[in-house]
Structure 1
Amino acid sequence: MVSCLYNLFLFIFGLFSLPKLLWKKKNSWKMLKAKLGLELPLLSKERPALKPVFWIHAVSLGETRAAIPLVRLIKQKFPKSCLVVSSTTETGFDEAKKSLAEADSRFFLPLDFSSVMRKLVSMVKPDVLILMEGEFWYHLLQEAKTQGAAILLANGKLSEISRERFALFSFFTKRLFSLIDHFCLQSSCHEERFLELGISKEKMTVTGNLKFDTPVQRLTASEKEYWKMELGIGPDDRLLTIGSTHASEEKRLLTALLPLFQEIPHLKVLLVPRHPERFLEVKALLERSEMPFLVYSKREEKNFRERVVLMDEMGLLRTCYQLSELALVGGSFIRGIGGHNVFEPIQCGIPVLFGPHMEAQRDFTHLLLQAQAARQLSLEELPRALLELFQNGQLRARMTASGDKLIKCSKGALQRTWEQVLERV
């Protein structure tokens, strides 16, 4: 009965999602076939000889990056294993292709219909299924458990909003979470929320955040010079990266920064919207603003006098952070998003600023503010704070040093997570 109702819900969800998928996605037909289970992954012919089989499901870009150290450790400890990675979003899939070369297969996870998942799980035959952070698909878990897989949640988290939603459907929630053998969680606050949903404390371990153990490849001096030339950045330019912005946020932030452009004549902003389908929308905004700007995909048109560079290609945010003196992380100056990864700029060696709406990133917010490696500001406070930081190199250096110290002190989640995985192989 539960399975039938769940399938019906997925069918209705799929019908409503179809127009959005076809309208917004550049590879919509290919992605649609994958989502409907019409194009299941092609696994290696050597697959039957590879054991054990690890299946990691990482929803999107952030979860995929968090999985990098775990994937590499699995392949190091079990070189003859089979490892497959599934993604929900296009950005997650692209990141898996780019960063997880060790994986034997990478594919989109279809919608969680029982018949599709039964066939997919039978093809993969996982010994261990690892969910990254917090996307729970009932039929995926049920079929994996039925076919003998151990199931773990790695880098697990649960927001207060998600806890409230799960609590409304307690009967289904208990069935869903009973399928997971162990919960490896980012912090004690997430443990408390799972406890409130009835999860046994014995099934949970606070392992810490895998993102602290995720390596960031630093650019060399020559690579930085190359990128500056590519982006039309002159030797006197002062760089600010505004990353992971959402609808209406770019306009608010650029308007708030207008006085700063007067105070700092050589200020240049690298603007990186969160979603690729919004690139044209942001370009139109910049055209209306009459602010000199460059679009990355047309960088051959640069004249070095642009004030904003619109990065209209995915996967370049870390490069932008490493070229900049300061980072400003979006999704935090408007309601309903809850912020994005504010630890990433710290890993790239620069101080980070973000807005008041960080509900989805409470752990990072607390850690960075406590370490004095970041600042949380309202839109009104932003120009003055940025001016102070651009003018005070010693202050920027102290914040960077605090961030480096935090990174060193926060490692260890990978080893603690691995201990739980190893018990179930």
Structure 2
Amino acid sequence: MYFIYILLNIFLYFLCLIALPFLSLKSKYNKFYLKLFPLKLAKKADIHFHYASFGEINALSPLIKELKKQGYTVLLTCASKTGYEAGKKIDDNCFFLPFEILLFFWLKKAKKLVVFEAELWLILSRIYKNSCILLNARISKKSFRKYYRFKFLYEKIFENYTMIYAQSNSDARRLKKLGAKNISVFTNIKIINPIKLKEKLKKNKELIIIASTHKGEEEIILNKLDKGFLKNKALIIAPRHPERFKQVYELIKDYAKKNNLSFSSFSVNKEAYLEKDIFLLDVLGKLVDFYAISDYVILGGSYIDNIGGHNFYEAAYFNNKIISGNYIFNQIQMLKYIKNIKISDDIDFSDVKNAFIKSDFTFVDLVNIVKG
């Protein structure tokens, strides 16, 4: 089966070469060529971290920085443009994970591979056989049905893992059905990470943040939001993906005009939220700083049915009052650790208490797991 997988990988590689000119026209994929032509070689490292995107490297960032502080060298590989750009800020030894068939020629094997959540690749894990762990492993009830169709593949992948740390008992049971062994239930590492602010921001009124929104969600949430609730407050909107900043700017500009509200964005004036009614946070990496001074958070990725919600942790860390939509299938287990989250398609904060975090594990436990 491994040989067949390699042949299929070669076939897909050439298909991607053909599609590359068309993919490159889209902002989201304009660095996709780095997966097909990894001209720069990675430096050999003690620990190789592989993750998917921006949210995952954000979650891994405190762990990686602590290990580097203790003298460990790292290699970072990812699957997305935003993950690549964020990873580069942590360590220059960061790359798009090359197309799997290229790993035989490109990869300088580290002492250990740490794969985050659900980035499961057969050739990558086979190269690191008996020296790789799966961290923060999760499979939602909805996703499990799709995964189970390819159980034969995941059984082969899991054979290469020495240890799998699941987020919950439910995740552990689903992973076991897919063929995973050596499973230990830890926790979602996102709830034990220390949070450090990049900048302490000013504040002169209550702030509402609509965070991590996807296409279509801004309209849904703004239509549900009581206009009276906005009075004497600033509304901050932070889209999930930077390629949507321009589109959302125009949407909010129209909304502000129709409702006689003042509007600006971070790219125009980073302190405009102090004066304006609505403020677009059109930059990555600043959301946590705004969570630290906010009062109310409406969490996106949960008002349309194909995302599964986003992490409550950062907003709850600063004891915000939090409302999330009903589509949170990727975050259900998180509710065991984050208290006072309101899950509802109705946006009404009148009965919402300040959120807080509860966990039996610590960041030190996490560091020791990875160090082995």
Q: Give the distance between the partners of 1:67 and 1:303, measured in 2 at CA.
A: 30
- The structure 2 residue matched to 1:193, chosen from 149, 174, 184, is 174
Q: TM-score, normalised by structure 1?
A: 0.78
Residue 22 of structure 1 is aligned with which of 22, 25, 30? 25
Q: Which residue of 2 aligns with 1:415?
A: 365
Deviations 1:305-336 (A, max 9, x none): 53210111111111121121111110111111
Q: How does 1:232-243 map to 2 (within 5 A)?
A: 235=204, 237-243=205-211
Give the one of 118, 124, 143 matched to 1:134. 118
2:164 alignment partner, SS class: strand
1:308 alignment partner in structure 2: 278
The answer as to whether partners of 1:70 and 1:418 remain within 8 angstroms in 2 is no
Tell me, yes or no, if the aligned pair for 1:41 and 1:107 is still in contact at 8 Å.
Answer: no
Q: In structure 1, what residue type is equivalent to 2:247?
A: E
Rg larger in structure? 1
Matched, 1:120 2:106: yes
Cα distance change, pair 160–422 in 1 and its aligned pair in 2 (3 A): same
Q: Select the residue among 81, 98, 102 that pairs with 1:90.
A: 81
**Aligned mates of 2:194, 2:273 — CA distance in 1:** 35
Residue matched to 1:163: 144
Note the alpha carbon deviations across 1:280-329, whole angstroms, 9 max, x for none: 11112123322431121111895965321011111111112112111111
Q: What is the Cα deviation at residue 214 of structure 1?
A: 1.1
CA distance in 2, matches of 1:106, 1:413: 24
Specify the alignment match of 1:34 in structure 2: 34
2:58 alignment partner in structure 1 = 65
Look up the match of 2:244.
278
Question: Conserved in 2, the CA contact under 8 Å of 1:242 and 1:271?
Answer: yes
Aligned length: 365
Quote the offset at 1:279 in angstroms.
Answer: 0.7
Which aligned pairs between 1:227-376 and structure 2 lie closer than 5 A? 228=203, 235=204, 237-257=205-225, 260-289=226-255, 290=257, 291-299=261-269, 302=272, 306-368=276-338, 371=339, 373-376=340-343
Alpha-carbon separation, structure 1, partners of 2:144 and 2:363: 23
Letter in 1 for 2:97: L
For residues 38-66 of structure 1, give each alpha carbon's deviation from its aligned partner in whole angstroms, at most 9, with x where no partner exists.
323453xxx5xxxx721011211222122
Maintained 8 Å contact 1:318/1:348 = no
How far apart in 1 are the matches of 2:22 and 2:215? 20
SS at match of 2:32: helix
| Cα contact 2:234–2:274 (8 A) shared by 1 | no
Which moved further from structure 2: 280-289 or 329-338? Answer: 280-289
After TM superposition, the score normalised by the length of structure 2 is: 0.88
Larger CA deviation: 160-169 vs 348-357: 160-169
Q: How does 1:46-65 map to 2 (within 5 A)?
A: 53-65=46-58
> Is 1:210–2:189 an aligned residue pair?
yes
The letter of the residue matching 1:355 is: G
CA contact (8 A) 1:65 1:214 kept: no
Q: C-alpha root-mean-square deviation of aligned residues, in Å?
A: 2.7
Distance 1:95 1:217, change over 3 A: same
Alpha-carbon distance change, 301 to 414 in structure 1, aligned in 2, over 3 angstroms: closer
Query: Hey, what does 1:392 align to over in structure 2?
Result: none
What is the CA-CA distance between 1:13 and the residue it aligns to?
5.8
CA distance in 1, matches of 2:135, 2:253: 44
One-letter identity of the residue aligned with 1:211: K
The one-letter amino acid of 2:228's match is: Q
* Aligned mate of 1:107, from 82, 90, 95: 95
Identity %: 24
Displacement, 1:174?
Answer: 1.6
Equivalent position SS for 1:22 = coil
- Does the C-alpha gap of structure 1 residues 67 and 300 become closer, same or farther in structure 2, counting only changes over 3 Å? closer
CA 1:294–1:41 in structure 2 vs 1: closer, same or farther (change >3 Å)? Answer: farther
Tell me whether 1:5 sits opposite 2:4 in the alignment. Answer: no
1:2 Cα deviation (Å)? 2.5
Write the deviation string for residues 95-138 of structure 1: whole angstroms up to 9, x where unpaired: 2233x3xx4612221222x1x111122xx221101101110122
* Structure 1: runs of 5 or more not aligned: 229-234, 390-394
* 1:263/1:415 CA distance change after superposition, 3 Å: closer
Is the CA contact (8 Å cut-off) linking 2:67 and 2:367 kept in structure 1? no
Amino acid at match of 1:195: K
Please state whether the residue corresponding to 1:129 is helix, strand or coil.
strand
Aligned-partner Cα distance in 2 for 1:242–1:296: 15
SS in 1 for 2:179: coil
Residues 2, 95 of structure 1: alpha-carbon distance in 2 compared, 3 angstrom cutoff = closer
Q: Deviations over 1:335-392 (max 9, x none)?
A: 1111011111011332221011101111113433xx3x211111xx21xx22x26xxx
